[in-house]
């Protein structure tokens, strides 16, 4: 939650080989659920399906069977956002929109966050244990800060015929609560790398002390088990490598 998954889903769903851009609010216990996904996305797209993939942004609490998770045609994508901005964003949303009041409690947000980290680890491990090809992992911050690199690597991993674009379509459900990110930013139709604003929300230091090591454990698991964008070296760009001696 609040990990820019709506942004990535809009970028993916705007590609001609991908149908779907939002939360379908369903689990995946068997392959009939995949047919259900096709039907729901088709209805959401004026009774049409395009391209190679059908997309769902899978939420917390929905079933995801090992068999479907390990299927070669299933392409899991993980996004992970560091704890401070994640939790502040969850709390800010909870205090701004009716109907999700528990999100406004920092302790409740923390409980959700650490539980979700554990779930993401379990999903990645189940995929790897089944011998399936690696899923894709991206730091949420890189989706904004290294957009071109991330989208290029993601398009290559998906085998798309044309590149993914940081400019995306706005759909009928874009920005509607219950379909993903309800903020105005998602309606901009492009990736915006701007400073986050969380209304001056402060978190108890103990919350971050609890969340941070669990975040790093989850991130290390995803890095170990998933394909990721090859981020350029942080080496000083002015430094040159000495040539080998003849």
Measuring CA to CA, which residue among 74, 65, 58, 64 is closest to residue 25?
Answer: 58
Give residues with Cβ within 8 angstroms of 112, minimum separation 6: 1, 60, 90, 103
Determine phi and psi for 15, rounding to 5 degrees: -80, 140
Q: Is 235 a residue whose pLDDT tops 90?
A: no
What's the mean pLDDT in 154-172?
96
Q: What is the pLDDT of residues 71-88, one digit of tens each?
A: 999 999 999 999 999 999
Q: Is 196 a residue whose pLDDT tops 80?
A: no
- What is d(CA 97, CA 110) in angstroms, rounded to the nearest whole number? 19
Q: What is the pLDDT of residues 29-40, one digit of tens each?
A: 999 999 999 999
- What is d(CA 35, CA 53) in angstroms, rounded to the nearest whole number? 13
- What is d(CA 121, CA 172) in angstroms, rounded to the nearest whole number? 33
What's the mean pLDDT in 136-159?
96
- Enumerate the domain spans of the chain: 5-228
What's the mean pLDDT in 203-225?
97
Q: Is 238 a residue whose pLDDT tops 90?
A: no
What's the mean pLDDT in 47-72?
92
**CATH number for the 5-228 domain, one of 1.10.3470, 3.30.1340, 3.30.70, 3.40.50?**
3.40.50
């Amino acid at each position: 939650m609040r990990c820019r998954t709506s942004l990535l889903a809009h970028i993916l769903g705007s590609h001609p080989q991908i149908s779907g851009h939002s939360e379908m609010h369903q689990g995946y216990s068997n392959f009939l659920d995949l047919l259900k996904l096709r039907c729901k996305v088709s209805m959401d797209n004026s009774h049409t399906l395009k391209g190679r993939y059908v997309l769902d942004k899978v939420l917390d609490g929905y079933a995801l069977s090992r068999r479907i998770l390990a299927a070669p045609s299933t392409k899991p994508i993980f996004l992970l956002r560091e704890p401070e901005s994640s939790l502040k964003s969850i709390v800010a949303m909870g205090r701004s929109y009716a109907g999700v009041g528990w999100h406004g409690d920092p302790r409740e947000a923390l409980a959700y966050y650490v539980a979700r980290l554990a779930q993401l680890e379990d999903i990645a491990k189940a995929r790897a244990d089944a011998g399936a090809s690696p899923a894709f992992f991206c730091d949420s911050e890189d989706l904004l800060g290294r957009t071109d690199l991330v989208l290029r690597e993601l398009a290559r991993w998906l085998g798309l015929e044309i590149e993914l674009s940081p400019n995306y379509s706005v759909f009928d459900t874009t920005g509607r609560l219950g379909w993903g990110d309800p903020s105005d930013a998602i309606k901009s139709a492009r990736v915006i790398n701007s400073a986050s604003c969380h209304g001056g929300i402060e978190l108890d230091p103990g919350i971050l002390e609890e969340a941070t090591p669990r975040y790093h454990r989850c991130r290390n698991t995803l890095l170990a088990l998933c394909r990721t964008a090859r981020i350029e070296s942080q080496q000083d760009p002015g430094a040159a490598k000495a040539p080998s001696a003849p």
